[in-house]
Structure formats: structure tokens, C-alpha cells
């Protein structure tokens, strides 16, 4: 079955607390959604704010190739003719080929929120849909609070759907607006609708009960062919159904057609780009697209995946544009080390067991190679019998001094051996790590001038055993970059300066070792 995808990231998604998209942001996302292959892009509510009006004005020049841009609004107001209703007029003036309007399905809302009679509400639904159809629009009718309304009074809830269907709605979306329904009830209610209402059906699920994706899939199994949701599950309160999870489930697991296969392979890129535009950190554990979605840590798992990938993967990661990777930790087995090293282009040459033992010993005292891939790579490189370090550290001296009336003064002195020559240099810095970095570079750059292109981009310090107070062990993670390359190294010690020095030395040595092998 072909599924009609209706994306409401630009409207319902922006109702999430902390999410705000500029008009330019919305235009960028709209282009991406169209290229990805969604069928409807709900751009906003033109009657509600100037930003959405500006978006629809500028969106006329987008030149969408597949998706129908959709303006959102409500049914007409009580005792106002549809043609005179300012909300409906604004939807028409937005100039979109499709519109979506919501109406009430729950008598609680009809009588206590709208202060209307049940008959008035049915007329409002019918009149609004008819008016929009007369103006040449594709109409998606959102039956707001349908499942709550069906639970309270199924006959009336079904009557609201019939009113929309008889007026010519192209799609009727059953809305779990409060997000509290369970899949079994969604299935039951949708099947009843399917049997009694002659109109194409859709589903719009919120995630307040952490069931939005499950409820969406249940509704499709029960007869819905139109699916509404947002990228990454953005939306009011706990969010909407996450299309990033819904689409591959429908296509790869249930056999429905959503987007072209080559577009599905762009799923991970779409998810992460929208997160960046919305200024949100991508969830590393997000199903299908998170960086940890196909990460294997346990030794038994890795051994199995190395033989048969599907033994611990529910779909091939490349189908959704993601990657498999192996995590190194105290739970690792030989397979973890062998596979992770191979991903780095390195051979372990039969010393996997020795590497595993060393990793477990180091992690027992506070190292964390899962977060420090650079230091793991260096462990593998150092295990090779022919490995020669590009430099050796003999002495490190740090002086931090503050005298009355003067700023703190920090000086680092390092003694290194490079190609058999002893180098003894001094450098000042803004702090101990900065001074140490300066001294190391000052000593090494005459031999390795490319080090000037290395940038330290992050420095994290964590106390491992705080109960020891000032005697606690410290873990330092240092992140460095060179162009598009990025790596993280680790140091652990009772002395934060020693831990920092270890992480810094590893960072510089790894870059030089890589550069030498090219």
C-alpha cells in the first residue's frame, strides 16, 4: 500500500518547548522534506502569526516538486458563515494547494470549550470542508481528540467524521490529541471507523504515553493510509509521532511504500540536519538514525555480528543511511578489538587477547575507551612490534604562580626525545594545559610543522571517585581536530595535570603516527 506522508514539523513541531524556527529555517526544511519525498508539508497557521504569513508568501517560490504545501487552521466559528470566517479566509489567501483543518470530535470540547451544541459542531465541520473544496483545495480534516471522543460517545464521534466525509474531505485524520491511547484501542476504533465511514483515513498521534509510533503503526494496520508526524518527533508537550521511526517501520518491516529506496538511505542525514537547524543535539540513541543505533558493545554480540550482522541488527544500517560500529569497553571481547581496529584500517596481528586484557585493566582504574577512540587507536598502534613513537616524553615541569598585585603566571617546561635528540623547551600559557600544549608544540613543530594545524576543540574533566575529595582520581577527555579529522584521547590520574598531560601527549602522538603512515 502506498502511504501518504504528512509532515507537520513546521507547524506542530514548532509547538515543542524550546523549538523556534525562523522563516529561513522553515524554508530550508521544506526543501529537504520535498527532496526526501513526503507528500504534504504543513507549513503553519496563517491566521495565527506574521511569521507563518511570511513563510507562505515566500514559499510560493520554493518550486516544490513532489510535496503539496499545506496551510493549517480550524473549522469556522460558531454562528459565523464559512465564507465570512477570517481563519478560513486566511487559509485560502495562503495560496497553498492543500489545507488541513481541525474540528471537534469530543462532546466535552463541543459543549464546554466551544460552548456549541452538537448540531452546531456538525454544521461547522460540514460548512468548512465544503467551503474549502469549492475553492479548489485538497482538504485534510483532522478529527481532533477523536479517540477520546470515541471512548466517551462513539456514535457522536463517528457522526463528526461522516460530516467531513459527506462534505468532500480528501483525508480524514484520526487524532490522538492528548496522546494517551494504547495501540489496542487505536486498532479497535480505527476498524470501526473503516467499517462505517466512507473516506480515506489517516492518523495523527501524540506521544504523551510514549505510544505515538506504535499507535501510528497500529492505525495503518487497521486501515489508515495517511500518516502524520514530525521529524525527530518534535511537537507540543511530549511530541508527535516520529516520522524518522515510522517511515522505516512501514517500509522495511510492513512492506508499505513511503519513499524511494535511495531517499530512505538519506533518513539519517535528514534527521541530523533538522536537529542542527532546530539547534538541538541529535539523540545518539535514537532508533534507526542515532550514532549508537547500530553500536555493538558486548563481546558476545560483536562476535555474532562479525559472523552474521543480522544476528543483532533488526535492519541493515545502510538501508537508513547509518553505520555500524563497535564500542570498546570493559565488556569487550576479542571480536570487539579486531572489528574496531579493522574499522580504523589497522590489523591486530593476533594480539587481541593482550589488548582486551589491557583495556579491561585500564578501564578498571577509570579509563573509558568508549569515549576515547583516539587512545584506543593508539593502543592498537603501540601493540605492533615495529611501532616507533614519533617522540618520547622525558620530563614535564609546570609552574603556576600568583604574587600579590599580579595575575597568575603559568609556565611549562618539557624535555622530549625526537629522532635521538633531546629537546628542552619552555612556554607560557593562560593555564597549565595551554602552557603544556604550547611547550610540546614548540619542541615538536621544527620537525613536524603540520602540528600547527591541530586544534584542541574540547577539554572535559570528571572526578571518578568523589568520595576521596581532593585526593580523587580525575579523568580528562581531550578532543582535537585537523581539517575534517576529529579524535578524542583520555588520561587518568590522581593529579589532574598528569591526566591532562597524558591525554595531550596521546593526541599529538596519534596525529603524527597517522600522518607517518600515509
Q: How many CA atoms lie within 13 A of 498 on its CB side?
A: 7
> What are 174's strand-pairing partners?
143, 203
In this structure, what DSSP letter does residue 109 have?
I
What is d(CA 9, CA 72) in angstroms, rounded to the nearest whole number?
12
**Whose grid coordinates read 550514532?**
291
Q: Write the CB contacts of 320 (distance below 8 Å, at least 6 apart in sequence).
A: 248, 264, 265, 267, 268, 288, 289
HSE of 409, CA atoms in CB hemisphere, 13 A: 9
Provide the greatest CA pair distance for the chain: 94
Q: Report the topology of domain 4-277.
A: TIM Barrel (3.20.20)
Residue 304: CB atoms within 10 Å: 17
Pairing of strands 392-401, 409-418: antiparallel
**CA 228 to CA 206: how far, in whole Å?**
10
Domain ranges for the chain, please list them.
4-277, 295-364, 392-517
Q: How far is CA 121 from CA 189, 416, 485, in A?
A: 21, 83, 61
Reading the block at residue 231, the C-alpha cell is 521529524
What b-and-e string marks burial along 165-187, b requiring 16 or more CB atoms within 10 Å of the CB? Answer: bebebbbbbbbbbebebebebbb
Angle at 46 between CA 41 and CA 51, to 5 degrees: 90
Contacts of residue 29, Cβ cutoff 8 Å, sequence gap at least 6: 9, 10, 21, 231, 274, 277
Residue 330: its pLDDT value, please? 47
Buried b (16+ CB within 10 A) or exposed e, 120-139: ebbbbbbbbbbbbbeeebbb
Judge whether 459 and 476 are in contact, CB under 8 Å: yes
Considering the segment(s) 392-517 as one domain, its CATH architecture is 2-Layer Sandwich (3.30)
- For the chain, the C-alpha Rg in angstroms (whole number) is 30
Under 8 Å between Cβ of 316 and 59: no
The pLDDT, as a whole number, for residue 371 is 73
Q: How far apart are CA 402 and CA 339, in angstroms?
A: 50
Contact 386, 379 (CB under 8 A): no
77 grid coordinates: 466559528
Q: pLDDT by residue for the chain (518 residues), tens digit each?
A: 999 999 999 999 999 999 999 999 999 999 999 999 999 999 999 978 899 999 999 999 999 999 999 999 999 999 999 999 999 999 999 999 999 999 999 999 999 999 999 999 999 999 999 999 999 999 999 999 999 999 999 999 999 999 999 999 999 999 999 999 999 999 999 999 999 999 999 999 999 999 999 999 999 999 999 999 999 999 999 999 999 999 999 999 999 999 999 999 999 999 989 998 898 888 989 999 998 888 766 656 556 656 666 777 789 989 999 877 665 554 556 666 777 767 777 777 778 788 878 877 887 788 877 778 888 888 888 888 888 899 999 999 989 887 777 788 889 999 999 988 999 999 998 888 899 999 999 999 999 999 988 898 888 888 877 777 766 788 898 999 988 888 999 999 988 889 999 999 999 999 998 887 65
CA 263, 320, 187, 43 torsion: positive or negative? negative
Question: 259 — alpha (psi -120 to 50), left (phi > 0) or beta?
Answer: beta
Q: In sequence order, what DSSP letters do the residues of 35-67 get, joined into one string?
A: HHT-SEEEEE-TTT-HHHHHHHHHHTTS--SSP
Amino acid at each position: 500500500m502506498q502511504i501518504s506522508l504528512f509532515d507537520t514539523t513546521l507547524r506542530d513541531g514548532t509547538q515543542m518547548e524550546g523549538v523556534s524556527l525562523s522563516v529561513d529555517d522553515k524554508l530550508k526544511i521544506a526543501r529537504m522534506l520535498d527532496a526526501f519525498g513526503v507528500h504534504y508539508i504543513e507549513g503553519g497557521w496563517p491566521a495565527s502569526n506574521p511569521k507563518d504569513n511570511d513563510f507562505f508568501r515566500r514559499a510560493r517560490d520554493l518550486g516544490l516538486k513532489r510535496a503539496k504545501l499545506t496551510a493549517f487552521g480550524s473549522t469556522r466559528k460558531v454562528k459565523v458563515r464559512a465564507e465570512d470566517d477570517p481563519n478560513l479566509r486566511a487559509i485560502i489567501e495562503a495560496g497553498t494547494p492543500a489545507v488541513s483543518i481541525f474540528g471537534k470530535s469530543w462532546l466535552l470540547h463541543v459543549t464546554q470549550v466551544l460552548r456549541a451544541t452538537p448540531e452546531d459542531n456538525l454544521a461547522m465541520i460540514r460548512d468548512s470542508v465544503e467551503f474549502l473544496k469549492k475553492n479548489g483545495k485538497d482538504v485534510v480534516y483532522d478529527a481532533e481528540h477523536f479517540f477520546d471522543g470515541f471512548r466517551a460517545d462513539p456514535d457522536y464521534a463517528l457522526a463528526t467524521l461522516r460530516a467531513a466525509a459527506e462534505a468532500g474531505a480528501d483525508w480524514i485524520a484520526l487524532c490522538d490529541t492528548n496522546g494517551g491511547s494504547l495501540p489496542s484501542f487505536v486498532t479497535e476504533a480505527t476498524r470501526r471507523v473503516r467499517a462505517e465511514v466512507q473516506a480515506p483515513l489517516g492518523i495523527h498521534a501524540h506521544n504523551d504515553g510514549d505510544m505515538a509510533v506504535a499507535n501510528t503503526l497500529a492505525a495503518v494496520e487497521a486501515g489508515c493510509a495517511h500518516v502524520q508526524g514530525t521529524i525527530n518527533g518534535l511537537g507540543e508537550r511530549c511530541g508527535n509521532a516520529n516520522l524518522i521511526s515510522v517511515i522505516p517501520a512501514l517500509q522495511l518491516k510492513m512492506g508499505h511504500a513511503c519513499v524511494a529506496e535511495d531517499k530512505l538511505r538519506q533518513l539519517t542525514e535528514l534527521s541530523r540536519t533538522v536537529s542542527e537547524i532546530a539547534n538541538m543535539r541529535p539523540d545518539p540513541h535514537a532508533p534507526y538514525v542515532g550514532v549508537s543505533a547500530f553500536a555493538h558493545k558486548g563481546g558476545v554480540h560483536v562476535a555474532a555480528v562479525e559472523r552474521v550482522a543480522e544476528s543483532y541488527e533488526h535492519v541493515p544500517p545502510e538501508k537508513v543511511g547509518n553505520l555500524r560500529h563497535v564500542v570498546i569497553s570493559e565488556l569487550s571481547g576479542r571480536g570487539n578489538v579486531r572489528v574496531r581496529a579493522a574499522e580504523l584500517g589497522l590489523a591486530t596481528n593476533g594480539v587481541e587477547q593482550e589488548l582486551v586484557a589491557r583495556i579491561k585493566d585500564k578501564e578498571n582504574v577509570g579509563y573509558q575507551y568508549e569515549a576515547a577512540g583516539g587512545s584506543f587507536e593508539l593502543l592498537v598502534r603501540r601493540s605492533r612490534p615495529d611501532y616507533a613513537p614519533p617522540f618520547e616524553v622525558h620530563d614535564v615541569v609546570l609552574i603556576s604562580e600568583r604574587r600579590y598585585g599580579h595575575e597568575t603566571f603559568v609556565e611549562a617546561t618539557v624535555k622530549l626525545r625526537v629522532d635521538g635528540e633531546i629537546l628542552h623547551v619552555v612556554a607560557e600559557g593562560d593555564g597549565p594545559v595551554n602552557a603544556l600544549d604550547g611547550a610540546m608544540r614548540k619542541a615538536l613543530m621544527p620537525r613536524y610543522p603540520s602540528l600547527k594545524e591541530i586544534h584542541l576543540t574540547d577539554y572535559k574533566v570528571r572526578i571518578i571517585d568523589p568520595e576521596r575529595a581532593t585526593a580523587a582520581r580525575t579523568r580528562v577527555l581531550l578532543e582535537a581536530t585537523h581539517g575534517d579529522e576529529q579524535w578524542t584521547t583520555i588520561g587518568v590520574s590522581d593529579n589532574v595535570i598528569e591526566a591532562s598531560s597524558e591525554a595531550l601527549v596521546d593526541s599529538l602522538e596519534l596525529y603524527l603516527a597517522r600522518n607517518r603512515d600515509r
